[in-house]
Amino acid sequence: MSITRRNFLKGTAAGLGCLGMSSIAGFRYVSKAHAKELAEQQVKYVASSCAICTNKCVFRGQVVNGVIRRLEPHPEFAKSRGMMCARGNAGAWTPYDPNRVKYPMIRTGKRGEGKWKKASWDEAYAYIAEKTNKVVEEEGGHRSCIGFASSEGTYHEHYWNQFREVFGSPNSVRHTTLCLSSNIRGFMAVVGTYPNADVINSPFIILAGANRAESFYTPDTMDIFSDPTKKVICLDPRFTKTAAKATKWYPIKPGTDMAFALAMMNVIIGEGLHDKAYVDKYAYGFNQLAQHVKQYTPEWAEKETDIPAQGIRDIAREFARTPGAVFYPGRRSSFQGDDVETRRAIAMVNVIVGSFDRKGGLIPNVTIPLAKYFYEPAWYSKTRPRLEEADVTFLSPRDGSWVAWRDRAIKGDPYAIRGLYIYKQNVVASVPDRNKTMELFDKLDIIVCVDTFMSDTAWYADVVLPESNYLERLDPPNTYGLNCVELPTVTIRQPLIQPMYDTRSGFDIVVGLAKYFEDDDGATLDEYFEGDVESHTRDAVAEFPGAFETLKEKAFFSEGKASPIGDYLNGKKAINTPTKKLELYSDDFESRGLDPMPTYKRPADIGADKFRFVVGRHAIHTQSMTANFPELNWHMPENTVWINSAKAKTMGIKSGDMVQLKNRTGGEVQIKAQVTEGIRPDCVYYANGYGSLSKGQPLVYGKGASQSQILESHFEPISGNALMHETIVEIRRV
């Protein structure tokens, strides 16, 4: 089954386009009409960068008499090219949201009861320190009893990690293991880096689960679908906006992406379509792979994936014959038990056609090197390894494995976790199996949450410390490759307005808290923090004359040099694998008792009248962050569960009916049904960010359902990534 671009409903494109325009109705602070009025007022423009999603697009904020009136895309910033999406526009209103956390708060009632008292910063710090030092003493002086959670979506996160390190705890769990740890590990194992896909220059793109049209709504995404010469193949059990705009959509069976990739290699190698010279020179283990994939024929894959064998053959042949074709390294493909191996297989498809480090293919991420932020480490006489060290083969000491770590923490195995410090990560709404998260919370003596809004996690904390809004603070520089736009770039955030309430930046929060703790030598931990964010910014770009001034003016700078392509192939850079080659066979994996090549294991049968729950992005929302934004919530006041129309008919379910979803581990939700042709009969889906437990999020409190309440708790043992597509549910009409 496939849907072509020709028979796609044109209205979808128009609707998606409208959501990206600055003139969207309901934006209180985004208006182009007031030129005469503005001439008589104090108007200034401040350049900064967005914090609503991972793209970090640069904008210019219009401030009139000290009030933010609108955000407009910076015309010179290569990533956004004069465009700003609905999410970015909605950010203009966030400093004025009445639901912001305006001052430090200490809980006075039961957790989740919503009873708080206003506190000074020193009062809040003293309360945290008293509770924390007490449990550390009870644990024999072992500071590992305090866990730390954080999200990569903010430039201040490394200060949080610095505080954890000088405090003396190894237990860090980050958002990465709820997102792309398996993807990173899979591609690292084959090509030695986590690359970008050169979608701008690629004429043939395969997207397995990657929903670019809704997750990364930027000009480079629009280029993919607006160029009629590009062919885009979308593999997704759900008819996403990306599927709608693709050349062909195949509603692949969840968990079978590896079967598709292996069958592609069967055809490409079997018919001699691989790049022999490239493979001979740069790859390791090709002969073993060629023998290995003989068993994975398109006819076999058809039974696994529900994609016709001839369709697989046609895709494989055209992919191999098209210079610059790329199998996109998306963050979401199967999200199932073999996820690392699936990503390895996808990486190998690219390698055998010579796609790595070539125009249009997989491009190693190149960034502008900033001076490292250095600080002295603290030393403690009593240390213990991190909690889940034995559970994950390639465990990142900084990212950890959220699900594995939580399981250990609940059991107190091998030692007790007594407190959790959380920075800008809504763990109650994002970590699978909310019931387990609450079970962990019940065992903790102290929960500290730093956030700008009263998220579900903040609602259940003991102390909430308010960070200043991203439009009120200076953030240190961030360097990144522009996701296949030519120029590596450094960006900063700087304040458009002064903080409206008793809030602080992330750096100031941790330095203030550090004053209340001592190391083994009796020195207060704030002594490990030097300077301020501005001095750190100056130091970071000191090697680039004029860079600091450019950052202050434009909020970004670039060296003006395109990312070099071919440095790994011409020997200027070494491929970062054990063999220094692109590994189609991994001796390292084999030595650890893992499959040296991707080996398909059929997903377990879900059973009759049951459904696999799949996750995904919504075009105007970012995770659980934005659904309570008034400027976005009007579009979808509550989420609904997608149920295939044929399946719904057999169950007597119509759109708007209230249904109950129940998983295998006790999680259940009630939510309205949305009957649609746009999902496989064996799958269901609903958007993230709803069904909030926090009365501080009134637009989504008790409205719709939370993904974390229905997702089961599973993790992938090679990378530690949470497995978001291993949840099986039953549905009944309420």
Q: How do residues 267-288 score in pLDDT, each as one tens digit?
A: 999 999 999 999 999 999 999 9
| Phi, psi of 167, deg, nearest 5 | -70, -35
DSSP secondary structure letters along 223-278 = HHHH-TT-EEEEE-SB--HHHHHSSEEE-PPTT-HHHHHHHHHHHHHHTT-S-HHH
What residues pair up with 208 in beta bridges, in sequence order?
Answer: 235
The predicted pLDDT at position 121 comes to: 99
**Model confidence at 15: pLDDT above 50:** no
51 or 13, greater pLDDT = 51
> What domains lie within the chain, and their CATH numbers?
3-90 (2.20.25.90), 105-176+370-488+498-542 (3.40.50.740), 196-363+577-591 (3.40.228.10), 611-733 (2.40.40.20)
Beta pairing, strands 283-284 & 248-250: unpaired
Token pair 């609905």 in the structure block, residue: 86
CB burial class (10 A; 0-12, 13-18, 19+) of residue 476?
A: buried
The predicted pLDDT at position 366 comes to: 82
Token pair 């030129």 in the structure block, residue: 35
The predicted pLDDT at position 37 comes to: 58
| HSE, side-chain direction, 13 A CA sphere, residue 180 | 13
Cα separations in angstroms, 555 against 209, 547, 561: 33, 10, 18
Q: How do residues 179-197 score in pLDDT, each as one tens digit?
A: 889 999 999 999 999 998 9
Q: How do residues 409-425 score in pLDDT, each as one tens digit?
A: 999 999 999 999 999 99
DSSP state of 204: E
Q: How do residues 467-508 score in pLDDT, each as one tens digit?
A: 999 999 999 998 877 554 557 889 999 999 999 999 999 999
% the chain with pLDDT above 70: 93
Rounded mean pLDDT of 145-151?
95
Q: How do residues 662-700 score in pLDDT, each as one tens digit?
A: 999 999 999 999 999 999 999 999 999 999 999 999 999
| Closest to 282 (Cα-Cα) out of 658, 673, 684, 568 | 568
